[in-house]
Amino acid sequence: MMRRIKFRLFAIVMAACAAAPPVLYAQQTGPLTITLNPAQTAIRWTLGTTLHTVHGTFALKEGSFRVDPATGDVSGRIVVDASSGESGDSSRDRRMQGDVLESGSFPEIVYRPSHVSGAIDLASGGDVELDGTLHLHGKDHPLRLTIHLAPGGSVTKLTTHFTIPYVEWGMKDPSKVFLHVDKQVALDVNATFASPPPGPAKAILHPGEVHTAQ
């Protein structure tokens, strides 16, 4: 009798294990190359004034970087066409291009990432911190971005929001006597990149921890 009871308990446990969904450890553990498609990347900026809030866009020229999740090291660059900045008002845009951005002399805005902190989980997504250097108006400035990753089948969505204190960084203040313009501009980036094919299951770890294969 006891033997039959034990056998039935064993069978129930095995059936429950078979029915339960497998635990998925999907952090990217090998080197990851992310390439952004300019046609699928939106860069929007917002600037407050005493009259109203101005909205505009920039265009991505190119963006590709390589991440080593084991160390957190990142290499590559993201290039924005400075002359593409526009707000829908041709007169205002000429002043922005000629007086503030001076895009004739500084045609590119370049972000060079150097290190990522946090688990790069391309199965469930989440936030990571990306440190790098922004080359703007001829000068380099350290810039940390909070990147949100949202997987969706064969692609992963990447979004970030940050502000640039452009006047503090040496660019011209476009304010006039009766028009105050904020001295920092807010930017939102929305992009997608192709998700890498699934590899061997690994434990979700942060850079610097010991990786153990499952």
pLDDT in tens, 124-166: 889 999 999 999 999 999 999 999 999 988 899 999 999 999 9
C-beta atoms surrounding 46 within 10 Å: 15
- 67-76, 132-141, 205-214: which has the minimum mean pLDDT? 205-214
C-beta separation of 208 from 72 below 8 A: yes
Give kind and range of the element (H or E) at residue 185.
strand 185-194
CA of residue 100 relative to chain centroid, distance:
26
Q: Name the band, by pLDDT with cuts 50, 70 and 90, for residue 69.
A: confident
Instruction: Tally Cβ neighbours within 10 Å of residue 86.
Output: 16
Q: In angstroms, rounded to a whole number, what is the distance separating the alpha carbons of residues 159 and 67?
A: 17
Residue bearing tokens 């034990």: 6
CA dist 59 and 109 (Å) reads 10
Note the pLDDT of residue 103.
Answer: 97
The phi-psi region of residue 76 (left if phi > 0; otherwise alpha if psi is between -120 and 50; otherwise beta) is left
Give the pLDDT confidence score for residue 76 in this predicted structure: 97
Copy the structure tokens of residue 18.
Answer: 């078979």
Give kind and range of the element (H or E) at residue 92. Answer: helix 90-95
Question: Is it the case that residue 72 has pLDDT exceeding 90?
Answer: yes
What is the pLDDT, as a whole number, of residue 178?
Answer: 78
Helix (H) / strand (E) containing 8: helix 2-19
State the pLDDT at residue 28: 52
**pLDDT value, residue 8:** 56
Residue 56 has pLDDT above 50, yes or no: yes
State pTM to two decimals.
Answer: 0.78
Q: What tens digit of pLDDT does each residue of 4-53 get?
A: 544 454 444 444 444 433 333 345 557 889 999 999 999 999 999 998 99
Token pair 């203040």: residue: 173
Task: Please check whether residue 85 is in contact with residue 56, taking contact to mean a CB–CB distance below 8 angstroms.
Answer: yes
In angstroms, the CA 74 to CA 144 distance is: 13
* pLDDT given at position 111: 98
- Would strands 73-86 and 108-117 be described as parallel, antiparallel, or unpaired? antiparallel
The sign of the torsion formed by the CA atoms of 100, 103, 92, 47 equals negative
Name the token pair of 211. Answer: 């990786």
Q: Which of residues 177 and 172 earns the better pLDDT score?
A: 172
| Domains along the sequence of the chain with CATH | 28-194 (2.40.128.110)
pLDDT tens, residue by residue, 183-206: 999 999 999 998 876 554 333 334
* Residues whose CB falls within 8 Å of the CB of residue 58, separated by 6 or more in sequence, listed in order: 43, 45, 80, 81, 82, 84, 85, 109
- Regarding predicted confidence, which is higher, 92 or 17? 92
Q: How far is CA 159 from CA 52, 187, 188, 192, in A?
A: 26, 11, 7, 9
